[in-house]
Structure 1
Amino acid sequence: MMNSYITIIATAAMGLESIVAQEVKRLGYSEVNVENGKVRFEADIQAVIRCNLWLRSADRVKILIGEFEATSYDELFEQTKSLPWGDYIPEDGEFPVIGKSVKSKLYSVPDCQSIVKKAIVEKLKKQHGIAQWLPETGSLYRVEVALHKNKVELTLDSSGSGLHKRGYRYQQGDAPLKETLAAALIQLTNWHPDQPFYDLFCGSGTIPIEAALIGQNIAPGFNRSFVSEEWEWVSSEAWERGLEEAEDLANYDQPLAIYGSDIRHEMVEASKTNAFEAGLGDLIQWKQMQASDFASDQSIGYIVSNPPYGERLGDKKKIEETYKQLGTVLRDYPGWSIYMLTANEQFESLFGQKATKKRKLFNGFIKTDYYQYFGKRI
């Protein structure tokens, strides 16, 4: 298995597929296909390890076992059974089946899950030469059956917990920004590690922490474990190679000027705790202050923030006033590039300036716009 090529699918939140595709290409995998919610490519087993360790904006790394058309449960059963499940799942492997179905004849997800499970059981018994039941006491191999317009895609999830779970967020606020989205927001800028970087609404510190990981080229998955570390056909030597590469490529000597501030004292403290857990305690400077108190003696820099949206009625006026004050203050910094993610559709008029560029993104289930103001050349 280690030398054979497989199809890898990196899943992504809506709007982030192109960012994930760029990340995959930067890892050296060139033939990349971008689809809705996913990026797929052919590579060796080592790529599964590297993608889990390095992809900053992907949700999960999956392995494609097979795909086919199915409009009846018999077809679903027979074609699932024809796949080489025993090459991937050992005789004691635990293999729960999850599913989803969109615009397909086979619309009952529980029935699809049940049939796929039965088909895999039959194939594993045959491949492993077992007459009776399968114990499922070993490592976890989570299977997903996804149907879209009668096309069936069967995958194995190699990540376990979603890739946004970096292992550093011990404390969080009311509406935390996912680490994967925070990393994408930074990668949508032209920030370089030698330039100042500010988040004026830092919450639990996710954006500055992700910026520090990017700035020092630290693999975001370096601090956590993955379900495929326990898989028999992915060797421990391969994992060691992946971790050694991550250690070798990290640039711990890169000086950074990263700042996070928030009006709430408890959020600043939470940010400090999370940065410490990420091993970045000394790299980021934190401060309790209002966003409109921002001041810098640098002529160029970057501000990337996910400010409160003012969704609750009582907060709305206060937030809108904050946007206005911020616009007034930041007009004194024409060389700075400013990036704001918000669901408030009046942002540009409140901020007092039309964005250079706008991008639609989803923060969880909230539809937002990413307002991008490019700094003038100075």
Structure 2
Amino acid sequence: MSRMELIAPCHFGLEAVLKREILDLGYEILEVEDGRVTFLGDAEAVCRANVFLRTAERILLKVGSFRAVTFEELFEKTRALPWEAYIPKNGKFWVAKASSVKSRLFSPSDIQSIMKKAMVRRLQEKYHLEWFPEDGAQYPLRVFLMKDQVTVGIDTSGMSLHKRGYREISGKAPITETLAAALILLTPWKRDRILVDPFCGSGTFPIEAAMMAAHIAPGMNRSFTAENWTELIPKKLWYDAVNEAGDLIDDQIETDIQGYDVDEDVIRIARRNAREAGVEHLIHFQRRDVRDLHHPKKYGFLITNPPYGERLEDKKDLPELYRAFGEAYRRLDSWSAYMITSYEDAEKYFGRKADKNRKIYNGMLKTYFYQFQGPKPPRRPKSPEQGLE
């Protein structure tokens, strides 16, 4: 199976960031839809996408797509797909998740049950078996129905790709690693610039930034479901992808990445997570209230996920918190600030209208990514050697 379609789901509103990542890996984009990007690749692409993509939630191997408006049609068209090309006789297969939007078939449990029966019928005919042991590698399916169009993919990742392996313990209301990475990639921040998260919680923003700065691939220290699909993907390709990632690491660099939080226990968790990610030496964590936020350098970045006040009793504290954050920001000369929050009065109490505002769904929660842009730093003069090139 040399060429295959791969589907990479992502957070709604961040498809362009994921598209750029996939193009940077060298793969052809086939389609960009709400919440997912489809691209063309081979068995090696499955491995490299899982290891290198920072903003994808998982990588699905597309089996097919078709229109279905009745359960009979769903059964027959699922049965017509070439399941034997993917699932061996002893493979364990099931529909792990089905989602339906604006479609006549809308019951996830019925969709899952009928599609499983159709797959069994197809494989019985192809393998001449009445019963399947299902004691081999796992092949979990994910199915999307959108306006009666059914898209079927086998999940190559297993656990969501936001689970990098470094964050076993989280503080309150953590932001996922994939979302944090995508938001950083939406800013002009580069590894030679200052980055401070004044509400760092378990450290996700600083850790993801440090991993980018050190060129540490997000998936190089975890496992994937498709590692056991040896009939489709040779083991060597996984080793090659991880070795490629290892060769790119450059963690002996100078950075100015800082994370602050008012809770000392949370700071301890953030330090532990950074240590697990291999970037503890690149980040300075400190217990500090947002009111004490200051920095002597210019042209830095604040990238943060301040409290939203999702619980009613916490909302009363938000005006003062955002007011203090805005005042601290105004004391920072030439800095830019980026914050994701669902708090609708964020700009009002921050004291400035955002230059840009992007709506992003954090799970089912509608949030806004407010972007307050400072001036660009002056261009550095070229060295004599650069002038001779």
TM range (shorter): over 0.9
Q: Distance in 1 between matches of 2:364 and 2:146?
A: 21
| Matched residue, 2:283 | 284
Matched, 1:26 2:24: yes
Q: Does 1:319 align with 2:324?
A: no
Q: How far does residue 340 in structure 1 lie from its aligned partner after superposition?
A: 1.1
Could you tell me how far 1:126 is from its partner in structure 2?
Answer: 2.7
Q: Is the 8 A contact 1:100 1:147 kept in 2?
A: yes
CA contact (8 A) 1:193 1:254 kept: no
Q: Which runs of 5+ in 1 are unaligned?
A: none
C-alpha distance in structure 1 between counterparts of 2:110 and 2:315, whole Å = 46
3-state SS of 1:339 partner: strand
* 1:118 and 2:149 are equivalent in the alignment: no
Correspondence for 2:256: 257
Question: 1:368 is matched with which residue?
Answer: 367
The alignment status of 1:96 with 2:86, answered yes or no, reads no
Q: CA 1:40 to 1:352, structure 2 compared with 1: closer, same or farther past 3 Å?
A: same
Q: Give 2:199's aligned amino acid.
A: F
Q: Is the 8 A contact 2:290 2:328 kept in 1?
A: no
Cα distance in 2 between the residues matched to 1:340 and 1:144: 32
Does residue 49 of the first structure (1) align with residue 59 of the second (2)? no
Q: Tell me which of 183, 186, 189 is aligned to 2:187.
A: 189
What amino acid is the match of 1:48?
V
Q: Which residue of 1 aligns with 2:328?
A: 329
Is 1:246–2:216 an aligned residue pair?
A: no
In the alignment, what sits opposite 2:199? 201
Alignment-derived partner of residue 349 in structure 1 = 348
SS at match of 1:31: strand
Conservation of the 8 A alpha-carbon contact between 2:294 and 2:332: no
Alpha-carbon RMSD: 1.5
CA distance in 2, matches of 1:298, 1:105: 58
Post-superposition offset of 1:313: 4.2
Query: d(CA) in 1 for partners of 2:197 and 2:256?
Result: 12
Name the count of aligned residue pairs.
375
Q: Equivalent residue of 1:22, what SS?
A: helix
2:38 aligned residue: 40
Residue 234 of structure 1 corresponds to which residue in structure 2? Answer: 233
| Cα 1:293/1:230, change in 2 over 3 Å | same
Contact 2:340/2:370, CA 8 A, preserved across alignment: yes
Structure 2 CA distance for aligned equivalents of residues 163 and 13 of structure 1: 12
Question: Are the counterparts in 2 of residues 63 and 158 from structure 1 also a CA contact under 8 Å?
Answer: yes
| Cα distance, 1:51 vs structure 2 | 0.9
Question: How far has the Cα of 1:260 moved from its partner?
Answer: 0.5
Q: In the alignment, which residue of structure 1 is the partner of 2:152?
A: 154
Q: Give CA deviations for 1:239-283 in whole Å, capped at 9, x if unaligned.
A: 111111111122223322111010001110010111111111222
Secondary structure at 1:303 match in 2: strand
**Larger displacement relative to structure 2 (328-337 or 61-70):** 328-337
For residue 57 of structure 2, the aligned residue among 38, 56, 59 is: 59
- Cα distance in 1 between the residues matched to 2:245 and 2:56: 18
- Structure 1 residues 147, 310: closer, same or farther in 2, change over 3 A? closer
Matches within 5 A, 1:123-134: 123-128=122-127, 130-134=128-132
Contact 1:25 1:32 in 2 (8 A): no
Q: Deviations over 1:13-70 (max 9, x none)?
A: 1111111111111111133421011100111111111111111111111011011112
2:385 corresponding residue in structure 1? none
- Report if aligned partners of 1:301, 1:337 keep a CA contact under 8 Å in 2: yes
Aligned-partner residue type, residue 288 of structure 1: R
Would the aligned equivalents of 2:200 and 2:259 in 1 still touch at CA under 8 Å? yes
Asked if the contact 2:198–2:304 (Cα under 8 Å) also holds between the matched residues in 1, the reply is yes
3-state SS of 2:153 partner: strand
Q: List runs of 5+ in structure 2 lacking aligned partners.
A: 378-389
Q: Deviations over 1:330-365 (max 9, x none)?
A: 212231111111112222221111111111112232
Greater shift, 183-192 or 106-115, is seen at 106-115
Separation (CA, whole Å) in 2 of partners of 1:255 and 1:107: 53
Secondary structure of 1:267's counterpart equals helix
Task: State the distance in 1 between where 2:51 and 2:107 align.
Answer: 35
Is 2:297 the counterpart of 1:301? no
Residues 268-301 of structure 1, C-alpha deviation per residue, up to 9 Å, x if partnerless? 0010111111111222111001012112111111
Deviates more, 1:23-32 or 1:208-217: 23-32
> Contact between 2:294 and 2:331, CA under 8 Å: does it hold in 1?
no
Instruction: Determine the C-alpha separation between the residues in 2 that align with 1:30 and 1:256.
Output: 33
| Partner amino acid, structure 2, of 1:256 | T
Measure the CA separation in 2 of the matches of 1:341 and 1:250.
29
Instruction: Determine if contact 1:116/1:145 at 8 Å carries over to the other structure.
Output: no
Following superposition, the deviation at residue 192 of structure 1 comes to: 0.7
Secondary structure at the residue paired with 1:141?
Answer: strand
Preserved CA contact (<8 Å) 2:18 2:56: yes
Aligned to 2:309: 310
TM-score in terms of structure 2 length: 0.92
- Rounded to whole Å, the distance in 2 between the matches of 1:343 and 1:45 is 40
Give 3-state SS (helix, strand or coil) of 1:110's partner. Answer: helix
In the aligned structure 2, how far is the partner of 1:171 from the partner of 1:79? Answer: 44
* 1-structure distance, mates of 2:70, 2:324: 60
- Counterparts in 2 of 1:82 and 1:365: CA distance versus 1, 3 Å: closer
